[in-house]
Each structure stands twice: as C-alpha cells, then as structure tokens.
Amino acid sequence: MAQETLLIKHADLLCTMEARPDAPYGEEITDGALFARGGVIEAVGKTADLPQTADRVIDMRGHVVIPGMVNTHHHMFQNLTRAVPAAQNAPLFGWLQTLYPIWCNIGPDHIYWSGALAMAELAMTGCTTSSDHLYLYPNGARLEDSFAAAEDIGLRFHGTRGSMSIGESKGGLPPDRLTEAEPAILADCQRLIETHHDANRYAMRRVALAPCSPFSVSMDLMRETAQMARSYGVGMHTHLAENVEDIDYSLATFGMRPGEYIEAVGWTGHDVWHAHCVQLNEGEINLFARTGTGIAHCPCSNMRWPVALRPSANVWMRGLKWGLGGWLGL
C-alpha cells in the first residue's frame, strides 16, 4: 500500500464512535481533524493538535466526519433487475421464481458492471467496506468479476463464494441451469481462498464462503463448506429464517427449525454471520447470543413484502436489536 499521507481538517464535528466508559458512543470532536498514512488512520483530534500538512489535504468545514459504514449483506448482481414489474409485491419465493429465468442470462460483464454500480452507490453514501453474496455463476461468471469492480471503485471488499446445488429437478427452487455440482463448488471455493483471500489487517480483499440458503444446497455441502472455511480461517455466510415460508420449508424438509438446522451443520460461532433471521424464536436468539453468531438483518428487504406477510412489530424490534449487534460484531 502506498504511504501517501492524508489530512482531513476543520470538520464541524468528527465522531470516533469508539466506546469508552465516559463516552459510550465515542468522542465528538469540534473543529476535528484526521491524519492517515497509507490508508491507515494514525491520529484524530482537534485540527490545531494534528500535523498541519500532508500529501493530500481536505478542508471539511460544514461537514461531519464519521467512520466508514460497513455493509454486511448485498446481492450486487440484482441491481440489474431491481425494477422488474412482475416481481413487485411478490413474497420472497415468488420474487425469486420471477427473476431466476432472467438471471440465467447473466455473465462476467453483468457481474462486473452491477458490482461497480453497487459499490459506487455504496461509496457515495458513506460505506467503505462491503460484502457481496454472489451465489450464481452462469455463463462463465466468476467472483473475480466482483473483485475487479471493487478494485476499480476502491472499496474494501469481502467477496463471498455463494452456491446453489439443488435445482427444480431435485425439489429445489432455482432452475437447474443456475445450480452447480457440489464438488465443483468446493473446488472453486478452495481456489478462490488460495488465490485471493488476504487475512492481514487492513486487507482490501477477503473471501468468505456462502451457500445461498438451506433450501438451495444439501446438508452435506453446508457441513463441508464449514469445514473448509474453518481450515482456512475465512468467514461463513448464508440466508436464514428470512420469513415464514423459510420456517415452513425447514420444518417440512429437515424436521428442524432453522436454528436447529444450522447448529446441526456447524454454522454457529464468531466466524459466521447469517442474513435476515427475522423469524428466529427466543431459543434461537439465545443460541446466537451464546455462540457469538452474527446477523445481517436487512430490514429494507422485508419491508417490501405485502402487508399480510410482514412480521409483527415485536419481532421487528427484537430483530433490529440483534441485527445491530451482529453488524457491530462483524
């Protein structure tokens, strides 16, 4: 990383958000400044107390400076189909089944450009680190297409190698041509970790493993993915308990609630973060708390459901609390 220095000075307010006993939400510094070298913050404080020059100096009068936001769940390729009329006002499974046939046509360029658009939008709204859950690889698409977009935009990026292996012919939801054979999925996971994962502090590029959901891969793949992730020390991510259909599917297919299922396949712990988790019950919430399992809550996704399918306000508030914990704990 280049050792260029950066000075941000005269911010109306600089918020550190670093909790201390006397300041649970961190310091708020008026006439604040920040000095960084090679992309690493070396000091924050009053403008008068920090170095007065740097290779690049930005005057932030009239602005508030906060730490970069972190996006823990995204499907950047879906930027290309976010306004398809037939998918509007449909619950999750209907929404997916409307869009799957369109996603069959996605290729490397679509992954690159949807990723570049998503990351530009994120960067322009204060996000400096993002994950992306990419779980379909048709027509030669690869996770490298997302990495290229992240590098061009300049965002810190945790690309996740998602997967689907159970298509319609096996009783799953996606069309068969959007699925892959499980040995091929595992081989590509290993290739991506060994080629791209950077475990160093301040890394700009990390890899995590992320089967799409319990309803689109086998229990074996969930288990084997967890084993591989832990052998390399990379993160694990999937969708869980997103809505009532999810719970019904889990009970009918596995005879278990989602919390029991993920415990059975080894998907709890500090190295795991699950998306949504809107429908966890009290016991499952306790399981997540006990094991330090993270949640990316994604309330906007659920807000688009028809009114009749929305969870109760009580579940919302509880989910929001845990979602925030998962976010900050990532």
DSSP states of 115-142: HHHHHHHHHHTTEEEEEEEE---GGG--
The CB-of-242 to Zn ion minimum distance in angstroms stands at 8
The CB-of-73 to Zn ion minimum distance in angstroms stands at 6
The CB-of-141 to Zn ion minimum distance in angstroms stands at 17
* Amino acid sitting at position 230: R
CB of 60 or CB of 92, closer to Zn ion: 92
Question: Quick one: CA torsion of 299, 305, 311, 313, rounded to 10 degrees?
Answer: 60
CB of 65 or CB of 173, closer to Zn ion: 173
CB of 166 or CB of 275, closer to Zn ion: 275
The CB-of-16 to Zn ion minimum distance in angstroms stands at 31
Binding mask 184-223 for Zn ion (x = CB under 5 A): ----------------------------------------
The CB-of-148 to Zn ion minimum distance in angstroms stands at 22
Using CB atoms within 10 Å of the CB of residue 20, give its burial: 0 to 12 exposed, 13 to 18 middle, 19+ buried: exposed
Residue 28, CA atoms < 13 Å, CB-side half-sphere: 7
Using CB atoms within 10 Å of the CB of residue 137, give its burial: 0 to 12 exposed, 13 to 18 middle, 19+ buried: buried
- # binding residues, Zn ion (CB under 5 A): 1
Terminal alpha carbon distance of the chain? 24
Q: Please, which of residues 269-328 interact with Zn ion by CB under 5 A? A: 275
Q: At what angle do helices 108-124 and 143-153 cross, to 10 degrees?
A: 40
The CB-of-78 to Zn ion minimum distance in angstroms stands at 8
Q: Please, which of residues 241-280 interact with Zn ion by CB under 5 A? A: 275
The CB-of-135 to Zn ion minimum distance in angstroms stands at 9
What does the alpha-carbon distance between residue 47 and residue 117 come to, in Å, rounded to a whole number? 35
CB of 50 or CB of 208, closer to Zn ion: 208
CB of 150 or CB of 275, closer to Zn ion: 275
Question: Quick one: CA torsion of 126, 130, 135, 140, rounded to 10 degrees?
Answer: 90
What does the alpha-carbon distance between residue 42 and residue 34 come to, in Å, rounded to a whole number? 8
Angle at 100 between CA 113 and CA 276, to 5 degrees: 80
The CB-of-301 to Zn ion minimum distance in angstroms stands at 7
Token representation of residue 96: 């997916």
Nearest residue to Zn ion, by Cβ distance, number only: 275
Binding mask 22-61 for Zn ion (x = CB under 5 A): ----------------------------------------
CB of 47 or CB of 160, closer to Zn ion: 160
- CA-based nearest residue to 329, from 285, 301, 299, 289: 289
CB of 226 or CB of 275, closer to Zn ion: 275
CB of 11 or CB of 275, closer to Zn ion: 275
Residues that bind Zn ion (CB under 5 A): 275
